[in-house]
Amino acid sequence: MPAPQQWQHTTVLLAEAIDAIVTRPDGVYMDGTFGRGGHARALLARLGPQARLVVFDKDPEAIAEAHALAAADARVQVVHAGFSTLRPSLATLGITQLQGLLLDLGVSSPQIDNPARGFSFRFDAPLDMRMDTTRGETAADFLARADERQIAEVIRDYGEERFAVPIAKALVARREGGGAVRTTLELSQVVARAVKTREPGQDPATRTFQALRIFVNAELEELEQALAAALDLLAPGGRLAVISFHSLEDRIVKTFIARESREVVDRRAPMAPPRAMRLQAIARIKPGVAEVAANPRARSAILRVAERTDAEPGVTGGAA
């Protein structure tokens, strides 16, 4: 088992993300995924003394580090919650408008590399996979109660796994035989027997582990909720920056930005003025060769940036 000091996180697309969202140094900004604070600390270095930075995370270990940062810098406020709660959470803090919002999606390296968290098939550990270990159902609990159809749907829809049905059948058969899967090693072994072929260099369990993690943490649903709320909260000229690591996330972000970057005509009232575009796509950025060489986990990252183009009727004011 790796020692805790090895559970380090290398922040992906750090300079690019900060350059993208900081347009007014004394504005109110939000880091929706604090992690180990790489983006947050870089933001603080760029922001002015009157700025505010609200950091969100579900992981208790990340929140402990966030509180330490807040104790050292009065500009920081900490929210122990997922970024899907950003509207009510910010309202509680008296914040009604943001100049910039950053989301660094997925799982962090310390979560993957800590065997106790149950995210990785590289170690044998309880099959947990919750980002917030204080609440919710573990992956093992889901596999212990769900039927074959539910398990197959999760693995297919969230893992894009073509062998979802054989994997689900194998998991249910094992459970009915009195050996429900409770550890990462047990899950990877069941999947390896059910998956007949796999892309070179990819572990047979990769897609199944991804699917269960996304499902247990409601990652895609949370992303969709946060993006919708961002439209109401971003000030005109404010920036949204999202770093995704797999196609399901990136598709949601890409579709959202494209939809909100065009005028919309109400077909029920074709003579009425079209609804103005609310976002403008600014950039799509991938890590360079040097960053991928230094941090192979960055290879699939995509940063998408959009700017708020107008204020919704009735939305005024800023941060209290």
Alpha-carbon span 55 to 76, nearest angstrom: 7
Largest CA distance in the chain: 66
pLDDT band at 274; cut points 50, 70, 90: low
Asked if residue 114 is part of any domain, the answer here is no
Torsion angles phi and psi, residue 282, rounded to 5: -105, -45
The CATH number linked to 171 is 1.10.150.170
Q: Could you report the per-residue pLDDT of 280-294, keeping only the tens digit for each? A: 999 999 999 999 999
- 105, 165: one domain: no
182 CB burial (10 A radius; 0-12, 13-18, 19+)? middle
**169, 195, 216 - which closes a domain:** 216
Lookup: tokens for 158: 């969230």
Asked if residue 193 is part of any domain, the answer here is yes
**216, 238, 259 - which closes a domain:** 216
**Residues linked to residue 124 through DSSP beta bridges, in sequence order:** none
- 230, 209: one domain: no
CB of 94 within 8 A of CB of 68? Answer: no
Q: What is the model's pLDDT at position 310?
A: 73
- 17, 104: one domain: yes
Which of 26-30, 44-48, 100-104, 307-311 is predicted least confidently? 307-311
- 166, 297: one domain: no
Strand duo 52-57 + 76-80: pairing = parallel
- 258, 269: one domain: yes
Mean pLDDT of the region 287-307: 92
Domain count, the chain: 2
- 102, 31: one domain: yes
Alpha-carbon span 267 to 32, nearest angstrom: 36
Mean pLDDT score of the chain:
88
Mean pLDDT of the region 261-281: 73
Q: Could you report the per-residue pLDDT of 62-76, keeping only the tens digit for each? A: 999 999 999 999 999
Alpha-carbon span 286 to 274, nearest angstrom: 34
**Whole-model pTM?**
0.87
**198, 216, 234 - which closes a domain:** 216
Q: Could you report the per-residue pLDDT of 116-130, keeping only the tens digit for each? A: 676 777 778 999 999
Q: What is the model's pLDDT at position 107?
A: 75
- 247, 201: one domain: no
Which of 75-84, 99-108, 198-207, 212-221 is predicted least confidently? 198-207
Give residue 266's domain range.
4-109+219-308
- 177, 45: one domain: no
- 154, 200: one domain: yes
Q: What is the DSSP letter of 238?
A: E
pLDDT band at 235; cut points 50, 70, 90: very high
Q: What is the model's pLDDT at position 263?
A: 72
**Residues linked to residue 88 through DSSP beta bridges, in sequence order:** none
